[in-house]
């Protein structure tokens, strides 16, 4: 071993292991597709509280995955070390919406595919996935289950309210009922005949009905 070998830098030798042009193209495409995923996430979000930070993390996750896979594909030894480093990472943030998991996997998959050089697959697949999500997630159906919370002043008004709901809905099932002196509260599961919810106004105007509230199961609140 010579004196020069001691100070020989392996780091400088590895600078050219990743083509700068390929890296730039991959990162730009990852950013653009990440923005597209973020746009689809905003358009299809149906939860109670929208998280802007989660949407921004989808863009970052796409780009980070691209960088990681570019490094792994350029060096076999580095790939083994990367697997070991990632195996000790623990993610403790709770996923509140089931659809959020699909967006996370979408971002990671796009980053992997882009870094592998399959640009057509990444772009084309993202467009198809985005269109499918826009069509199916935003599609409103009157078959969606709803809960009607009705407060009445007695047995007679309760019976009239239940009969009215039976006539105005496709399916009507009492889920729970609580009674106090001078007040009866029912939670009724219903299926609508169509998208019209004006019957709630008529129900609240009935004699003996103190209030009527319509709530959907899936986080979309109407009233």
Residues 46-58: tens digit of each pLDDT = 766 667 788 888 9
User: How many structural domains is the chain composed of?
Assistant: 2
Q: What is the pLDDT of residues 93-123, one digit of tens each?
A: 666 677 888 898 999 899 889 888 888 999 9
Same domain, 123 and 154: no
Integer angstrom CA distances of residue 174 from 63, 79, 81, 185, 198: 50, 58, 59, 11, 20
Last residue of a domain, one of 104, 119, 137: 137
CATH of the domain at 200: 3.30.70.260
- In whole angstroms, what is the distance from residue 132 CA to residue 97 CA? 18
In a domain, 123, yes or no: yes
Contact 220, 214 (CB under 8 A): no
Same domain, 99 and 36: yes
In a domain, 223, yes or no: no
In a domain, 7, yes or no: yes
- In whole angstroms, what is the distance from residue 200 CA to residue 185 CA? 15
- Look up the domain containing 179 and give its range: 146-216
Regions of the chain with pLDDT less than 50: 1, 3, 6-8, 11, 219-223
Same domain, 14 and 72: yes
In a domain, 222, yes or no: no
Query: For residue 217, what pLDDT is reported?
Result: 66
Query: For residue 47, what pLDDT is reported?
Result: 64
Query: For residue 18, what pLDDT is reported?
Result: 66
In a domain, 197, yes or no: yes
Same domain, 74 and 131: yes
Same domain, 103 and 158: no
Query: For residue 13, what pLDDT is reported?
Result: 55
Same domain, 48 and 92: yes
pTM summary value = 0.62
Contact 27, 67 (CB under 8 A): yes
Same domain, 94 and 203: no
In a domain, 221, yes or no: no
How many other β-carbons are positioned within 10 Å of the β-carbon of residue 54? 18
Last residue of a domain, one of 137, 160, 176: 137
In a domain, 190, yes or no: yes
């Amino acid at each position: 071993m010579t004196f020069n070998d001691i100070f020989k830098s392996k780091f400088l030798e590895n600078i050219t292991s990743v083509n700068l042009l390929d890296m730039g193209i991959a990162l730009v495409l990852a950013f653009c597709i990440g923005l597209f995923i973020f746009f689809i996430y905003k358009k299809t979000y149906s939860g109670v509280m929208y998280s802007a930070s989660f949407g921004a993390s989808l863009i970052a996750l796409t780009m980070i995955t691209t960088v990681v896979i570019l490094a792994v594909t350029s060096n076999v030894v580095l790939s083994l070390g990367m697997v070991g480093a990632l195996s000790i990472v623990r993610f403790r943030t709770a996923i509140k919406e089931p659809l959020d998991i699909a967006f996370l996997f979408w971002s990671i998959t796009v980053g992997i595919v882009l870094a592998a050089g399959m640009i057509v697959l990444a772009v084309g697949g993202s467009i198809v996935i985005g269109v499918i999500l826009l069509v199916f997630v935003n599609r409103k159906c009157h078959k969606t289950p709803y809960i009607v919370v009705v407060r009445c002043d007695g047995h007679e008004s309760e019976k009239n309210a239940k009969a009215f709901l039976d006539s105005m809905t496709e399916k009507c099932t009492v889920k729970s009922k609580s009674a106090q002196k001078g007040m009866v509260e029912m939670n009724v599961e219903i299926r609508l005949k169509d998208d019209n919810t004006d019957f709630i106004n008529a129900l609240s105007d009935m004699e003996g009905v103190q209030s009527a509230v319509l709530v959907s199961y899936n986080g979309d609140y109407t009233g």
